[in-house]
Amino acid sequence: MEFFPILEFGWLNGWLLLVIFFGIFGVIVLTCPKEVIARLYEEEEWKKRGIFLKITGLIAVLFFYILFILTPLKIGSIEFLIGIIIFAIGTIGMAMALLSFKNAPLDKPITSGLYRISRNPQMLTIYIVFLGICLTIGSGIELIILGFSIIGGHFRILCEERKLLEQYGESYEEYKNKIPRYFLFF
């Protein structure tokens, strides 16, 4: 693991994993009805409360992608092996969460699939995917950026949960009291 690995264009860089992840993500989203896509990309609460966090998050994502694209995979290293396993777990988890999201009724909180153990499995699995990619490219700076991104994501989730409470009322409150925000006890 290097703090700041050498950046170079190449065929065996972190971008390969981004293509795999976003390819799977895109295929699932394309099969969703318009109403589900609208719910997935609801931004109204952000317009009111989270502009600074959104801009900061977009800057972090831009740095993420630039470094992922330009950093070679550390194929053969232990970090790569661990990272590719974590990446696969995160990608499968994201697919499962999106399918639950896609198939849930629009008038109730989503409580099936991974939503039975986490109120935010999509965010959780995205961070797992990014952790896996950070390890496969062996980048310490990416891990630091990921940490800041997770903190920003937490505040985004708090905004989303306020909106969900307004939207679904008591049924979301019950769900919120039973299911942890992230996973197990978090």
Mind listing the pLDDT tens digit for each residue in 44-70? 655 555 667 667 777 878 888 898 899
Is 6's pLDDT higher than 70? yes
Q: What's the chain's average pLDDT? A: 85
Long-range contacts of 149-152 (CB under 8 A, 24+ apart): 149/57, 149/60, 149/61, 149/64, 152/53, 152/56, 152/57, 152/60
Q: What CA–CA distance (Å, rounded) separates 36 from 75? A: 38
Q: What is the pLDDT of residue 86?
A: 98
CA dihedral 125, 128, 132, 137 (to 10 degrees): 100
What value does the mean pLDDT take over residues 131-151? 90
Q: What is the pLDDT of residue 34?
A: 82
Q: What is the pLDDT of residue 113?
A: 87
Domain extents in the chain: 15-42+70-178
74 band by pLDDT with thresholds 50, 70 and 90: very high
94 band by pLDDT with thresholds 50, 70 and 90: very high
Share of the chain above pLDDT 90, in %: 31
Is 185's pLDDT higher than 60? no
Q: What CA–CA distance (Å, rounded) separates 48 from 44? A: 7
Q: What is the pLDDT of residue 71?
A: 92
What value does the mean pLDDT take over residues 81-110? 91
